[in-house]
A and B are shown apart, each in its own frame.
Chain A
Amino acid sequence: MENLLLGFGQVLTPAKLLWCFLGVFLGTVIGILPGLGPLATMAILLPMTFKMEVSSAIIMLCGIYYGVAYGGTATSVLMRIPGEASSVVTCLDGYMMARRGRAGAALGIAAIGSFFAGTVGTLAISYLSPPLARLVFAFGPAEYTMLMLAGLCAVTYFSGTSILRALLMAGLGLALGCIGPDPMTAEPRLSFGLVDLSGGIDIVSLAIGLFGVSELLFMARRRAEELQIIAPPARLLGFLPSRQEARRSAGPVARGTVLGFLIGVLPGGGAVFASFLSYALERKLSKRPEEFGTGAVEGVAGPESANNAGTAGAFVPLLCMGLPANAITAVLLNAFMVHGVSPGPAMIERQPELFWGIIASMYLGNLMLLVLNLPLIGLLVRVLEIPRAWLSPVILLLCLVGVYSSTGDASGVALCVAFGFLGYFLRRRGYDLGIVILAFVLGPIIERSVRQALTIADGDPAIFVQSPLALGLAVLVAVILAAGLWPRRPAVVPA
C-alpha cells in the first residue's frame, strides 16, 4: 500500500497525467479504427520518446496498449467489423444486440466490464506479480501444447447446430495457419511459390476480411429496409444496460477477468485466445446457450472483460522479469532499454518509484478510459443513423488502409478482399467464422510447441504427460472434449 501511494505520488503531476491521458486516448482511437493496431503506433512513437523522461514515456506507451482493448469493441458491435483481433468474438453477439436496439447497452457493458477487468488486473499486478511470474517458467513446450489443445477443443462449444460444421471451420483455420515458413526448417509451405504468401497470413488481413469485408458485401446485397437495425434510445443514459442485462453480465465479467488475466500472463497466449475462451466458457455455462449468436449479453460481457484482463496480465512477466509476453510488450521492453533501464526484480528494488508509478498510472488510465468511453457511446451509436450507402465505402476504406498499415504491402490488402468474399460465401451457408480465427491463432502455436517438445525429448511422446502440469492439462483436454461431445439437452434451435 505504501508503495502504491509512492506510485500515485509520482503520477499525480499535471505532466504525467497528460501523458497518461494522451496514451489512453490514442489507444481508444486506434482500437476504434479497424486494422490499425497498437504495434505500429507504438513503434512509430518510440523514437519520439527517446528524449522524454523514462516514466512518462512508459506511462504513455502502456496507455496505448491497454486503451486499445476498450476501443476495439465499438465497430464490432455497431458494424460487425472487429476493431482489433481481440474483439472478433464480440462481433457475434454484440452486433446482434445492436440490431435489436441494444447497441448502447452492449457498448456500456463492454466499457464497464473492461473497466472492472482492467482495474482488477492492475490490482493483481500490484499484489500477485511474483508468484504469477513463476507460472511463466512452469510452461514449457509440452505444457503449451496441452493448454492450446484445450483451447482448440473448446471449438466444440461454439458449434451452434452441427459439430461437423464447426470442425470443418476449425480445419480451414488450421490450414490457413500452416501457410508460411515451416517452424523448424523455414521452408515456405502452401505458398504456391508466391513470395507474398511465403511469410504466412497476417491475422489482421484474415480477421478484417472474414468479418469486415464480408459484412460490407452483405450490406451491399441488402436493401436498406431489410437491415432492421432498431435505433437505440438517444437518451443521455441510453448506454446503461437494463437491470436484467446487468444481472446476466456479472458472472461473465468476473469469470472473463480471471480467465483473461491468467492467459495474458503466459507468453503466446494473448487477448485473442482469452476472449474466445471466455466466449466458449460462457456459452457452456449459460442456461440459455441457444441465445448465443442471437444477441446474448454474456457473449459481449465475458470476452470484452477477458481481453482487457489479458492485456493487464501481459504486464506481469514484463515488469517482474523483463520477459515480454507478446510483440507489443516487447516494444515496451525496448522502450525501457532505450532509457537504460532493464525491467525486473532489480528495477522494482532500485527504482520502486518507476515500477509503482507505472502501476498507479494504470489505475488512473483505466478510470480515464471509462470516463472517456461512456460518453463516446452516445456519439458512436449515432453512426447507426448514417445511411449505409454513405457509411459503407468509408468503412471499407478504413479497413483496407488499416490492413495496409499492418502488412506493409498491397498483397495483404488483396488477401483481405479475397477473405471477404470467402467469408461472404461461408456465412451465406451458415458457417461460424469465429472458429476459423481461433484455429488460425492456436494452430501454429500447437504445431511449434509439439515440434519443440519432440526435439527436446528426442522424439519421445511421453514428454507431453511427464510434468504434473502437463498431465493436469491433458486431463483437462479430455474433460473438455467429453463435455463438448456429450449430447446436449435438446435446445430449440432456429433453423
Chain B
Amino acid sequence: MSRRRLLLGAAAAGGALALPRLAAAADAFPNREITVIMPTAPGGGADVSLRGVLAPMGRILGVPMVVRNIANPTLATAQIASARPDGYTIGLLGMTALLLMPRLMSVPYKTEDFAFLGGFAEVLYGLGMKAGGPASSVEELIALAKTRRVTCSSNVIVNQLAMIQLGNRAGVKFHWVPTNAQAEAVAQVAGGHVDAVVQSPPEMTPLIRSGQIRFLASACNNRWPSFPEVKTLREMGYEAANFVPLGLACPTATSEAIREKLSAALAQAATDPETQTTITNLGGWPRPMTPEQIRTDMLGQEPMITAALEEAGMRRR
C-alpha cells in the first residue's frame, strides 16, 4: 500500500507527464487487483451486498477486487476523489458523504470529482411500530402525532428522510431519535421506548416475524419482496420515500476507455442471478443502473437533504 501511496504522490507531482502513459495503459487494463473503497465498517448489509457484486465483477475483469473499508465516510470519499485516476482505485459513493457532509464541514471533494460507473441495488426501508402499541396504521400514527409527541428512531439522518417528508405532507412532526446501530433503533421500538422506527430488512425482519414489530409501510420506492402485501407510503397516498442507491464511482479524470470497461463489468455483474439473490436476501432490491441513471437519481436527492437538514436543526454552511 505504501508503495502505491508513493506512486500516487509521484503521479500528482508528475501531472501532465503521467497522462499520456495512462491512456496507453487503458488497453492493458486491468492487469492487477482493483481496490474498492467502502465508506462503512465491514460486515454491514451494504458491505456484504457490495462483496456479492464484486465477486462476479472480478471474474468478468479477470482480476481480484479488494474491498478497503474506511469507516469514516468523508475520509473514504476523499480517498476515492484523490485516487490515481487509473481505474485501480474505485469506490462506493454514499449519500451521506456526497450530499450531507459538504453542508456540515469543508470537504476536499465536490460532486464533479466523481464519474459514476453504475449502480447495482437500492436499499429497502420500512416503517414499523411496536405491535399492540397505540397505532396500527400510518393514518393512526399521523393521528397520534397530532395529539402527542411522537418519536421515530433510525441510525442515520438519511434513513429519516421519508419520515420528514411524511410529517411535512401530513402536517405533523416526528421527532428523530438517532441510534448508534441499526438494530438498536429497532430494539428501542420493540422495547416501547421510542414510538416508530425506519430501518432495513435485515434488522427488522426477525422482529416483524416474531410479532414484536408491526410493519406499517414500506418507506422506499418499492414493496419488500419478503412482505409483498405491505404497501409503500407512496401507494398509500403520501409522497415520501427513502432513496439510497448503491453504486460505484471513480475519479472524473479516469480515461473513458477504462471507465467503460468497469461500467460494463459492473452492469453484467449486477444482473448475475446469484448476486441478485444475495442482495435480495440481505434486504436490498437488485437494480442495475446506468452511470447516468444513478447520477441523476442520486443528485436529485439534494433538495430533500437540504430540507431534512433544516428540519433536524443541522447547521448549513
Residues of chain A whose beta carbon lies under 8 Å from any beta carbon of chain B: 39-40, 42-44, 46-47, 50, 136-141, 183-188, 191, 193, 195-196, 198-200, 202, 267-268, 317, 321-328, 330-331, 333-334, 337-340, 342-346, 404, 407-411, 444-445, 448, 452, 455-456, 458
A187 touches B42 (CB 8 A): no
Interface residues of B in 15-59 (CB under 8 A from A): 37, 41-45, 47-48, 51-52, 55
For residue B107, which residues in chain A have a CB less than 8 angstroms away from its CB? Answer: 195
Of all chain A residues, which has the CB nearest B54?
A47
Nearest first, the 3 closest Cβ-Cβ pairs linking A and B are A322-B206, A199-B72, A140-B193
A43 touches B43 (CB 8 A): yes
A458 to B149, CA, bound (A): 8
A188 to B312, CA, bound (A): 16
For residue B151, which residues in chain A have a CB less than 8 angstroms away from its CB? Answer: 455-456
For residue B182, which residues in chain A have a CB less than 8 angstroms away from its CB? Answer: 330
Q: Does B307 contact A (CB under 8 A)?
A: no
Of all chain A residues, which has the CB nearest B208?
A342
For residue A321, which residues in chain B have a CB less than 8 angstroms away from its CB? Answer: 206-207, 210, 212
For residue A410, which residues in chain B have a CB less than 8 angstroms away from its CB? Answer: 1-2, 5
A139 to B194, CA, bound (A): 12
A338 to B190, CA, bound (A): 24
A50 touches B72 (CB 8 A): no
B184 touches A268 (CB 8 A): yes
For residue B178, which residues in chain A have a CB less than 8 angstroms away from its CB? Answer: 183-184, 448, 452
A325 to chain B, nearest CB (A): 8
A323 touches B69 (CB 8 A): no
A39 touches B75 (CB 8 A): no
For residue B209, which residues in chain A have a CB less than 8 angstroms away from its CB? Answer: 322, 342, 344, 346
A293 to B92, CA, bound (A): 47
New A-B contacts (4) at CB < 8 Å, excluding given A140-B194, A188-B74, A317-B187: A185-B315, A186-B104, A198-B101, A337-B281
B183 touches A448 (CB 8 A): no
For residue A340, which residues in chain B have a CB less than 8 angstroms away from its CB? Answer: 281
Known contacts A199-B75, A456-B177: does B183 contact A185 (CB below 8 Å)?
no
For residue A328, which residues in chain B have a CB less than 8 angstroms away from its CB? Answer: 43
B186 touches A331 (CB 8 A): no
A-contact bits for B187-230, CB 8 A (1 contact / 0 none): 11011111000000111011101101000000000000000000
A331 to chain B, nearest CB (A): 3
B202 touches A333 (CB 8 A): yes
Q: Does B289 contact A (CB under 8 A)?
A: no
Known contacts A136-B191, A137-B187, A185-B314: does B282 contact A327 (CB below 8 Å)?
no
Count of A-B residue pairs with CB < 8 Å = 205
Of all chain B residues, which has the CB nearest A409?
B70
Of all chain B residues, which has the CB nearest A347?
B206
A40 touches B206 (CB 8 A): no
Residues of chain B whose beta carbon lies under 8 Å from any beta carbon of chain A: 1-2, 5, 37, 41-45, 47-48, 51-52, 55, 67-76, 78-79, 96, 100-101, 104-108, 149, 151, 156-157, 175-184, 186-188, 190-194, 201-203, 205-207, 209-210, 212, 274, 278, 281-283, 312-315
Q: What are some 25 contacts across the A-B interface (CB < 8 A)?
A: A44-B42, A50-B52, A136-B187, A140-B188, A185-B313, A187-B104, A193-B105, A193-B106, A195-B72, A195-B75, A268-B184, A321-B212, A324-B183, A326-B181, A330-B43, A330-B183, A333-B202, A334-B202, A338-B281, A346-B206, A407-B70, A408-B37, A408-B76, A410-B2, A456-B193
B263 to chain A, nearest CB (A): 22
Question: Of A184, A193, A346, A408, which is in contact with the most chain B CB atoms at under 10 Å from its CB?
Answer: A408
For residue A325, which residues in chain B have a CB less than 8 angstroms away from its CB? Answer: 183
For residue A324, which residues in chain B have a CB less than 8 angstroms away from its CB? Answer: 181, 183, 203
For residue A44, which residues in chain B have a CB less than 8 angstroms away from its CB? Answer: 42, 67
A137 touches B48 (CB 8 A): no
For residue B312, which residues in chain A have a CB less than 8 angstroms away from its CB? Answer: 184-185
Known contacts A199-B72, A267-B183: does B194 contact A456 (CB below 8 Å)?
yes
Q: Which of A136, A331, A344 contacts B206 (CB 8 A)?
A: A344
A277 to chain B, nearest CB (A): 20
Known contacts A137-B190, A141-B193, A456-B194: does B69 contact A408 (CB below 8 Å)?
yes
Of all chain B residues, which has the CB nearest A37?
B42
A42 touches B48 (CB 8 A): no
Of all chain B residues, which has the CB nearest A334?
B48
Q: Which of A322, A331, A339 contacts B42 (CB 8 A)?
A: A331
B282 touches A337 (CB 8 A): yes
B71 touches A408 (CB 8 A): yes
A267 touches B108 (CB 8 A): no
Known contacts A334-B48, A448-B180, A452-B177: does B105 contact A188 (CB below 8 Å)?
yes
Q: Which of B157, B186, B205 contacts A342 (CB 8 A)?
A: B205
A138 touches B191 (CB 8 A): yes
For residue B100, which residues in chain A have a CB less than 8 angstroms away from its CB? Answer: 186
A323 touches B42 (CB 8 A): no
